[in-house]
Amino acid sequence: MGEQQLGNLAFLFPGQGAQAVGMLADAHAAFPEIGTTFQEASDALGYDVWDLVVSGPAEQLSLTEKTQPIILTASVALYRAWCANGGARPSVVAGHSLGEFSALVAAESLAFDDAVKLVRQRGQAMQLAVPVGVGAMAAILGVPDEDVVAVCTRISDGAAHHVSAVNFNSPGQVVIAGHAAAVEEAIAALKEAGAKRAMPLPVSAPFHTPLMRPAGEVLEQALSEIAVDDPIVPVVSNVNAELQTDGTVIKRLLVEQIASPVLWTQCVQTMLDQGCDRFIECGPGKVLSGLVKRVSKAVSVASIEAPDALKGAIE
């Protein structure tokens, strides 16, 4: 761990969708921590995780049970490279959905080999909770959050026709999910309500809806056999956007998270309220960097996937 402790540095860890064949190739060549972390993941999971990243195919990489451990591994690998090169320890960490597990590894709340097996189970359970084709998700841009919620509430009709707002990503950017027909109906209604864009997402399950409760039960059982320690820095929970420092509470919230909306805008606001003005996105892609900038233009944001970017952010 870097010894320097800064009160204003927040680390953010991305979720599913950030994966790409060939990601982290430059970082792998530059930092030995990348290779050793991927080897640890391969040992834990029983297949060559780095080979899947390098060679693909993209369809394999996009299977939820493969995607989740791969993004977690990539994020933790970059965090280890950051620390090994003298990077400051963050004062707070947060992750988007799956990314919350990466954040907990960085905060020393979850052991890495436990986490990588856990998210594989989480991915399998999420895929099995709803048959392929039954559920759907869509991104809605340019409609106030409360209007999106109101439309979803109006359209939802019992257990077989459900749609809800599941990711509050930034002001004016909300993801909805549920049964495919209900999502389709909501897309049409939100376009009428003035949405700039309302587009289906290429995912195979309605994440963060009540339809995911069976997956929550699987995760709860898996977590009952794993230690979740008190983190060394606070972790912001997706479920309530509050700072968490108690391992027992974190364990409960990880189960709730599967079937609860991701309150990402509020998570970022919580970090801003804590005085954070420097944000590092630690993992593949730059999605979270863009979302932070939509919440506050006054902060500095850096993504450290590329070696030069990581070194530059440390300096």
Q: What pLDDT does residue 3 have?
A: 35
Amino acid at 195: A
**What's the whole-model pTM score?**
0.95
In this structure, the answer to whether residues 52 and 149 fall within a common structural domain is no
Overall average pLDDT of the 237-257 stretch = 98
Say whether pLDDT at 2 is over 60: no
Domain end, chosen from 175, 203, 231, is at 203
pLDDT (tens digit per residue) in 264-306: 999 999 999 999 999 999 999 999 999 999 999 999 999 999 9
* Comparison of pLDDT for 4 and 249, the residue scoring more: 249
Q: What pLDDT does residue 237 have?
A: 98
Q: What pLDDT does residue 4 have?
A: 38
What percent of the chain shows pLDDT beyond 90? 91
In this structure, the answer to whether residues 46 and 177 fall within a common structural domain is no
In this structure, the answer to whether residues 280 and 186 fall within a common structural domain is no
290 domain-assigned: yes
Say whether pLDDT at 20 is over 80: yes
Overall average pLDDT of the 304-309 stretch = 97
283 domain-assigned: yes
Name the residues annotated as catalytic: 97, 208
2 domain-assigned: no
Domain end, chosen from 164, 181, 203, is at 203
Q: Please, which pLDDT band fits residue 133 given cuts at 50, 70 and 90? A: confident
- 273: domain CATH number is 3.40.366.10
**CA neighbor of 99 nearest in space, from 223, 248, 231, 254:** 254
In this structure, the answer to whether residues 235 and 280 fall within a common structural domain is yes
65 domain-assigned: yes
297 domain-assigned: yes
pLDDT (tens digit per residue) in 248-262: 999 999 999 999 999
For residue 32, is the peptide bond before it cis, meaning its omega torsion is within 30 degrees of 0?
A: no
Overall average pLDDT of the 142-168 stretch = 96
79 domain-assigned: yes
In this structure, the answer to whether residues 158 and 49 fall within a common structural domain is no
Q: Please, which pLDDT band fits residue 1 given cuts at 50, 70 and 90? A: very low
248 domain-assigned: yes
In this structure, the answer to whether residues 165 and 223 fall within a common structural domain is no
If one counts the domains in the chain, the total is: 2
Domain end, chosen from 168, 203, 238, is at 203
pLDDT (tens digit per residue) in 85-116: 999 999 999 999 999 999 999 999 999 999 99
Q: What pLDDT does residue 7 have?
A: 63
Say whether pLDDT at 208 is over 60: yes
In this structure, the answer to whether residues 116 and 65 fall within a common structural domain is yes
- 194: domain CATH number is 3.30.70.250
In this structure, the answer to whether residues 75 and 219 fall within a common structural domain is yes
In this structure, the answer to whether residues 120 and 76 fall within a common structural domain is yes
In this structure, the answer to whether residues 196 and 262 fall within a common structural domain is no
Overall average pLDDT of the 6-13 stretch = 86
Overall average pLDDT of the 72-88 stretch = 98
Query: Which residue segment(s) compose the domain that 297 sits in?
Result: 9-129+211-314
299 domain-assigned: yes
In this structure, the answer to whether residues 185 and 118 fall within a common structural domain is no
In this structure, the answer to whether residues 145 and 170 fall within a common structural domain is yes
Residue 234: CB atoms within 10 A of its CB come to 19
Q: What pLDDT does residue 80 have?
A: 98
**CA neighbor of 169 nearest in space, from 145, 147, 188:** 145
Say whether pLDDT at 6 is over 50: no
pLDDT (tens digit per residue) in 44-66: 999 999 999 999 999 898 888 99
